A and B are shown apart, each in its own frame.
Chain A
């Protein structure tokens, strides 16, 4: 008995070793250019897990039923998608791993407290400044058709600097309105303006800032935290990059 056992086990180990070497050696092949169709419908992604191999140059052809932001985590690549049109999302799968994909539907994106809103005032869709050095300014003119809307804005480089432009024909200011960025906040952070008004942002903070229409992603999350309802950012799937 004492002699038999080690024999059997050594055999097992040898088999195991062979299997290990075999499994380690498989794979290979050259990186490919891949086009992968991806469907997003009612907050569900198909396929749920996108599988590629390390080094592949991948273009996801995303067909979404709703506009929104598509975000590949850790690689940290984002793309804005429009409803009912195919968006190309390109990345080179350099890093192996399993990476989360999240999606902000645009509709829920900008549910403000007041005023009407439409899909246009999504992130950066109305205006988006260059990086403003301290002391620089950026201007935007309200258009006629925006009456009745609320346009959120923020500095993408510091989400705490944010506010709303409330556009109304009756009681909005006309002419020129100034908004100043400090290190802590945008003042005033809520302005009532009429169509034709030119709004000028001045960066009085100590660092670079931007002026972007729409809500910053962080604020969307903050809103979620307050109304403990459904998530604003939906986890819809994964990209798996297998080693070659």
Chain B
């Protein structure tokens, strides 16, 4: 029971988080040092220098849609392992079990956040940890999505009971809505993460999980599993977008399985990439290694709803960091002074301030992006319009956001994430010790600040370079001649430098809340 002595002070710490409503991220205490001015300046300098070096030297970027691939399912042995039910079934069972555990511990466990499995698992391991994993390695969410698995099982059972009939109603999804349901759900999730003060309360997490499960299962029931996963299931859509950066893709080569796909999954080059519906059905399938970030530069039509999600993602990532700076604290104080301290626990002035951030950041971001898109449109003499320009280049900004996101969260993941070790042994906080790890005490010196600074600044500069490269690829594919390509890229370059420098600037701010 020694562990409790260690954890209880930590529980006090968690208590303080509840008592401190101006708390930025959903859950977990941030401890990183601000990046020193020198690192900030060097990072910013590199971003600018490399951008112009890129433009003036390496202009021979290919705009072609093909790139290096290595098929992991190409030879027999890895194929057997990677597609074996012996591997996949336990993973799926485990994922559904984890969803159940989050709900069970949320309702039935210790109400103190740090002594309960659900907050650490949901906010740190799943949301922060898995999104980084997916962005770098590949979209495992398509495999472990518990709602997809549950619905798949239900469909299987239904087929046995009523052969030849579908469980879902199979209503036609109104195409004009695009990914709007996912966008709205993710917007709400963002609000819970950055503005709602009770997002770390276990019972609230369980309630959110139940509500989201019901929405998702009903969506699948009405429109069919794959339709809802593509348009309505926020995490499938968001993780899918992040995984475009990753080093793996699933690809279907034959056209046959795409003929019956419920969506038009092929891009403008006729490639069917990362369509899990076709992948599941096809016999001619590939699981490819590919260069990082290349999946963000595919030749495809981007719609307004997708652009909206890209902007929401970019802005959210920035706001999550910005809301911990003293600049934001001043804004909160201003709102507090203006509207008073009133309101309840859930809807008070601080939540109002953060809600304004969650709403205004994406809007502001969008306006700025449109302005630069307009500059780009002007620079190509009307060959492409402003909004089309925005749609074309939206994806290319993601590497900067992603790099910043990793720099922003790595400490939280590495230090607070360790709490999961004792928690798996005692998920309900009721004194169990299933795996004997309850006594584990967090190693808070796991990563040295200096290494972290190099890593953070290095990642952001790298993200910046990849972003410049991607935008260049898109430009070469889109514009008729090289002069226009270059001209179009100057405004984009300025925007990227601004975004990169802002990201670095936030890292250089001491976290005050």
Contacts and interface: CB of A to CB of B under 8 A. Distances in A.
A74 B16 contact: no
Contacts of B5: 157
B444 A75 contact: yes
Contact of A221 (B18, B29, B344, B348): B18
Contacts of A6: 53, 56-57
Given A71-B9, A131-B1, A5 B39 contact: no
Interface string A175-191: 00000000100000000
B449 A20 contact: no
Interface in A186-225: 206-208, 217-218, 220-221, 224-225
Contact of B16 (A94, A131, A233): A233
Given A12-B45, A16-B46, A96-B449, A225 B345 contact: yes
A65 interface: no
A207 B32 CA distance: 36
A5 B42 contact: no
Contacts of A24: 450, 454
A16 B15 contact: no
B351 to A, nearest CB: 12
A20 B42 contact: yes
Contacts of A221: 15-16, 18-19
A183 B4 CA distance: 16
A76 B6 contact: yes
Interface string B418-444: 000000000000110000000000001
A238 B344 CA distance: 29
A13 B46 contact: yes
Given A97-B411, A235-B20, A73 B13 contact: yes
Contacts of A217: 11-12, 15
Given A16-B42, A98-B511, A221-B18, A76 B33 contact: no
| Interface of chain B: mostly helix, strand, loop or mixed | helix
A218 B112 contact: yes
B34 A218 contact: no
Nearest to A102: B16
B415 interface: yes
Contacts of B75: none
A17 to B, nearest CB: 8
Nearest to B38: A23
B161 interface: no
B460 to A, nearest CB: 14
Contact of A157 (B1, B42, B344): B1
A66 interface: no
A160 to B, nearest CB: 8
Contacts of B445: 94-96
B448 interface: yes
A54 B48 CA distance: 33
Contacts of A243: 448-450
B15 A233 contact: yes
A24 B56 CA distance: 30
A71 B13 contact: yes
A228 B31 contact: no
Among B15, B20, B39, B42, max chain A CB count under 10 A is at B15
B156 interface: no
A234 to B, nearest CB: 9
Interface in A49-107: 49, 54, 71, 73-78, 94-100, 102
B61 interface: no
A10 to B, nearest CB: 8
A231 interface: yes
Nearest to B36: A23
B8 interface: yes
Contacts of A23: 36, 38-39, 42
Interface in B333-362: 344-345, 348
A242 B9 contact: no
Contacts of A42: none
B63 interface: no
Contacts of B29: 73-74, 100
Contacts of A5: 52, 56
A109 interface: no
Contacts of A220: 15
Given A24-B454, A71-B13, A98-B510, A156 B449 contact: no
Contacts of A34: none
12 contacts: A19-B41, A23-B39, A54-B448, A76-B10, A99-B31, A157-B8, A218-B12, A231-B20, A232-B19, A235-B513, A242-B33, A242-B449
Interface of B: 1, 4-6, 8-13, 15-16, 18-20, 29, 31-34, 36, 38-39, 41-42, 45-46, 48-50, 52-53, 56-57, 112, 344-345, 348, 411, 415, 430-431, 444-445, 448-450, 454, 510-511, 513
Given A71-B9, A221-B19, A243-B449, 19 more contacts: A2-B56, A5-B52, A9-B52, A16-B49, A20-B39, A23-B36, A76-B10, A94-B444, A95-B444, A96-B33, A98-B510, A157-B5, A159-B11, A217-B11, A218-B11, A221-B15, A225-B19, A232-B19, A241-B33
